[in-house]
Structure 1
């Protein structure tokens, strides 16, 4: 009797794509001054994103202190810090980070009550329907395997309780200078989370334009950013129906 088990392409994606992501991130510079908030363009991007995020969650402001929030790909913890600024309690926050060095920076930067776990997010021990919000900021544009994208999206959606949601911020367009990322169109976001009710905002002036504008005058950044076709990212609040 033939006992060979046929390969499972989806299982291979789960094993291989996190390794590929780690390798792709390893090719990047450990620190890039262009992303420091001391850079005017980076600061304008962060402020615009935080204003839009606050707008999406403003109706829940009174409840944010009770929310349990997990971020997939928390990096050095900047988004979790923003969640605290918006009213979330550190003891209700959890960050998942694939790269150990980034996880260590997050632990050093965030309050001790914030839990930071290292490893593949699809293997995280998080109970179904236990999270009010799951965050992902520029994670899916770094996943080049469609099957793994869907596996991660399904995992995140399973964690979300009814009435909660996934907060998505990511590239809407390709970056021609970086083959390690790809834009995620709104159609694909809806495919990944087909049951969600989506609130969508287009954000973030194209970074090369933003840097050039800020070198000339900060007000020019605001003028260019008023033109939606020049914005490269999308913020989406994907709500799970009650």
Structure 2
């Protein structure tokens, strides 16, 4: 890499020659452009058909200050794979204003799944507005909950509060990862939601956070007890009765 950097800086840029050749040479060209800080060249490659070229261009686009308008324009005629890479770049680059501006149109043109991918990059107000309608489409709960834990819990509570008690267990079976992803940032709220609107049995994704719930409550404790006779073990059933945990009082 040092030799490439020196070569790029002291000689004429090799990019036009390299780009006229195959995928390997084009890969070298995009690396050379990033070393030479060729912002315009990189901006023109963030939606490149070649995955390596596109990926490297997106990785350096923020450090080269590629403007938001380039992403917006590239999304206009992008295929699905390119669209997803561009959305990932917007989220990773924390281009919040751009994400907010794109969210509604993206949902209209590409559907809920693609709009949900953009949510972690949006401002809290936008996430609060869109998440209730996109909850079913979210797959990357960790990223979303790391940035917007309270909003995720608000949407979860809203959804559970509207369900009859008989339908809450299926909800938890599907969406326990959403609540589990918020525990690090909001352990008391996550525990309170489980206590108030949780299922009769605890999803395994939340069972592993029993210690976190106990530590988060001043003076509280959380202990497990034996399973009732005839109850399948946690190893075989994957569930532990909520009654087997003594929760500290919520503050």
The TM tier, using the shorter chain, reads under 0.3
TM-score for the superposition, normalised by structure 1 = 0.25
TM-score for the superposition, normalised by structure 2 = 0.24
Which structure carries more helix by proportion?
2
Which structure carries more strand by proportion?
1
* Higher relative contact order (CA closer than 8 Å, sequence separation 6+): 1
